[in-house]
Amino acid sequence: MHKKPPRTVAAVDLGSNSFHMIVCHINNGKLQTIDRLKEMVRLAAGLDKKNLIDSDAQKRALTCLERFGQRIRDFPPDSVRAVGTNTLRNAKNAQQFIEKAEKALNHPIHIISGVEEARLIYLGVAHSVGSTADLKLVVDIGGGSTEYIIGKEDQPKKKESLTMGCVTMSNRFFGKGQLSKNEFNKAVLLAEQKLEPCQKKFHRKQWDQAIGSSGTWRSIAKVLHAKGWSNNGITMAGLDQLVNHIKQCTHIRELNLPDLDNERLPVFPGGVAIAYATFKNLDIEQMSVADGALREGLIQDLLGRIYDHDIRSATVQALSERYHTDKQHSARIKTTIKKMLEQLDNGCCLSNDHDVSLFLAWAGELHEIGHDIAHSQYHKHSAYIIEHGDLAGFTNLDQTLLSIIVRYHRRKFSRNHFDDLPAPWNTQAPLMTIILRLAVVLHRNRQEFDLPEFKIQMNKSRITLWFPKNWLLESPLTRADLGQEADYLKAAGFKLEFS
């Protein structure tokens, strides 16, 4: 453990329909929930035809985040995880919105992929349901996407995220609250079409228990119970009765369903269409409903990071094994990176933040995975795999950052490639990349022997290396490699000196 763990942690889920926050006390590694906040923001409803979040939806979202922010404003940075899901994955102005959202919340917000969302949802459900089933199917109907996961104990085995949600479906087929049998059938058909490619993967034969984990499933379960249509969670027979009832109405006002929140009403028909298609396509007869979901999964993931079980490190290890990297070589690179970082303390323009050393260690481990595809231009292949792979635990920004460091760890180098990264990475990543470049240059001969003790200094755009007397004279190849590296860095406005 790096330092004393925080006493209180929080997770914020910026969903396409609702924003959620959970605050927990940590007591001897165990969690106790002390606060839950939820607001229906309907971010997905604010996406216009150009895929931009309109100003009204942004206003609702920022007002909500200011309220959340008031509760967690003074929490230390490593005790809060906030993530955006489907709508923020798709919105063209997501980055501009996130900059405002981070100010309102006073904590960083990361966008996660659909598959990473699925992993975290499963983690949340697995820790909140006392299930004895061997294999569990978890389905989460969100505002803009629906996640399907099969897992065993707390490990997800199969994950899928489909772009359909209760908000997007309701907007498309039941605009202004209008209902009709024809439109409902069309909505179910579209959901079935989206599910078809993964029908076999998540079919009834593949699991022992089905669990729903979202507001849509909870609302359906409440309605079925209140109407006496099901007394055992959600059943196919109960869903059939609910669907028949919806098909007889011409407007959501006529639904008149007990225990259904008014706030949920506008997105309920779209959610039911996805639920019905899911039951039909996957041959589900009965489903129980869990309290845990994405935010609980985020808290579990955060606990892992706090207590040194960071899933990202396990992911990096699995990736390096899958692409058969030279373990001894990457270990030497990582040792040299560590020695450099120890010397570059606060006096350097590179932050001595825990994340910097983590990302550089991961880059040291993964920079050669592209060799498995082709030796020529391997750094480009490595970067592509990192950026586009489903890497458990990594946010979209994490993958972009890691891939860009790996992509420019050799050959031509330019500061411009880092300009699109958000602060502080736009200034930190070029320096991190230079550290990886130097470690790779110093180990280019791939020999077993250790490097001599050397000194390094970095000062804005000046890097200086000192080696023991005569060492460079006795290592002409390394000296030539450092000379070539100085030329590459000079083109990017950096000055590398060595003696």
What are the tokens at 180?
């009709």
Asked if residue 450 and residue 319 are part of one domain, the reply reads yes
- Give the mean model confidence (pLDDT) for residues 176-197: 98
In whole angstroms, what is the distance from residue 162 CA to residue 216 CA? Answer: 16
pLDDT band of 27, cuts 50, 70, 90: confident
Give the mean pLDDT of 153-168: 96
pLDDT tens per residue across span 95-116: 999 999 999 999 999 999 999 9
Average pLDDT over residues 216-242: 97
E strands, 142-202, are 146-152, 155-162
Per-residue pLDDT of 41-75, as tens digits, reads 999 999 999 999 999 999 999 999 999 999 999 99
State the greatest distance between any 2 C-alpha atoms of the chain, in Å, as a whole number: 89
Partners of 443 in beta bridges: none
Lowest mean per-residue pLDDT among 34-38, 82-86, 174-178, 422-426: 422-426
Question: CATH number of the domain that 338 lies in?
Answer: 1.10.3210.10
Percent of the chain at pLDDT exceeding 90: 90
Q: How far is CA 143 from the centre of its chain?
A: 17
pLDDT, residue 197, reads: 98
Alpha-carbon gap, residue 101 to 81, rounded angstroms: 14
DSSP-based three-state secondary structure for 435: helix
User: Stretch 226-236: mean pLDDT, rounded?
Assistant: 95
What is the pLDDT of the chain when averaged over all its residues? 95
Q: Does 3 have pLDDT greater than 70?
A: no
Average pLDDT over residues 222-239: 96
Asked whether 294 and 15 are in contact (CB, 8 A), the reply is yes
Question: The domain containing residue 181 runs over which residues?
Answer: 129-290
The verdict on 67 and 137 lying in the same domain is no
Residue 403 lies in a domain: yes
pLDDT tens digit string along 246-290?
999 999 999 999 999 999 999 999 999 999 999 999 999 999 999
Strands 110-111 and 80-84: parallel
**What would the mean pLDDT of 20-35 be, rounded to a whole number?**
91
Contacts of 145 by beta carbon, 8 Å cutoff, 6+ apart: 16, 85, 86, 114, 117, 161, 162, 163, 164, 165
Quote the pLDDT of residue 272. 98
pLDDT band with cut points at 50, 70 and 90 for residue 353: confident
Of the residues 257, 290, 323, the one at which a domain ends: 290
Determine, yes or no, domain membership for 252: yes
Q: Per residue in 481-496, pLDDT tens?
A: 999 999 999 999 999 9
- Are β-strands 234-235 and 8-14 bridged in parallel, bridged antiparallel, or unpaired? unpaired
CATH of the domain at 51: 3.30.420.40
How many DSSP H helices and E strands does the chain contain? 18, 14
Q: pLDDT value at position 465? A: 97
168 and 259 assigned to the same domain: yes
Lowest mean pLDDT among 45-59, 344-358, 471-485: 344-358
Looking at the fold, whether 100 and 168 belong to one and the same domain comes out as no
Same domain, 92 and 208: no
Q: Could you tell me if 235 and 379 lie in one domain? A: no
Residues whose CB falls within 8 Å of the CB of residue 339, separated by 6 or more in sequence, listed in order: none
Q: Identify whether 256 is part of a domain.
A: yes
Say how far apart CA 218 and CA 188 lie, in whole Å.
19
Q: What does the alpha-carbon distance between residue 267 and residue 297 come to, in Å, rounded to a whole number?
A: 24
Is the predicted pLDDT of residue 2 greater than 70, yes or no? no
The answer to whether residue 374 sits within a structural domain is yes
For residues 280 and 367, membership in a common domain is answered with: no
CA 265 to chain centre: 29
Mean pLDDT, range 12-18, rounded to an integer: 97
Determine, yes or no, domain membership for 245: yes
Mapped onto helix, strand or coil, the DSSP state of residue 106 is coil
Q: Do residues 246 and 316 share a domain?
A: no
- The domain boundary, picked from 256, 290, 324, lies at 290
The answer to whether residues 133 and 189 belong to one domain is yes
Asked if residue 132 has pLDDT above 90, the reply is: no
Note whether 345 and 470 are same-domain residues. Answer: yes
pLDDT at position 155 over 60: yes
Instruction: Look up tokens 């499933």; give the residue.
Output: 217
Find, among 142, 141, 159, the residue nearest to 150 by Cα. Answer: 159
Using only C-alpha atoms, the chain has a radius of gyration, in whole angstroms, of 26
pLDDT surpasses 80 at 440: yes
Q: Taking 80 as the threshold, does the pLDDT of residue 349 lie above it?
A: no
Q: What is the pLDDT of residue 352?
A: 66
| Four-residue CA torsion sign, 251, 256, 258, 260 | positive
Residue at 119 is within a domain: no
Which comes out higher in pLDDT, residue 424 or 243? 243
Q: Can you give the CATH number for the domain in which 146 is found?
A: 3.30.420.150
* Same domain membership, residue 134 and residue 53: no
**Residues 255 and 360 occupy one common structural domain:** no
Q: Give domain status of residue 101, yes or no.
A: yes
pLDDT at 346: 58
Check residue 347 and give its pLDDT: 59
Counting the structural domains of the chain, the total is 3
Q: How far apart are CA 378 and CA 369, in angstroms?
A: 8
| pTM of the predicted structure, to 2 decimals | 0.94
Question: pLDDT confidence of 1, banded at 50, 70, 90?
Answer: very low
Is position 357 within any domain?
Answer: yes
Q: Which of 269, 303, 337 is the last residue of a domain?
A: 303
The pairs formed by 368-371 with CB atoms below 8 angstroms and a separation of 24 or more are: 368/325, 368/326, 368/329, 368/330, 369/319, 369/320, 369/323, 369/325, 370/323, 371/323, 371/324, 371/325
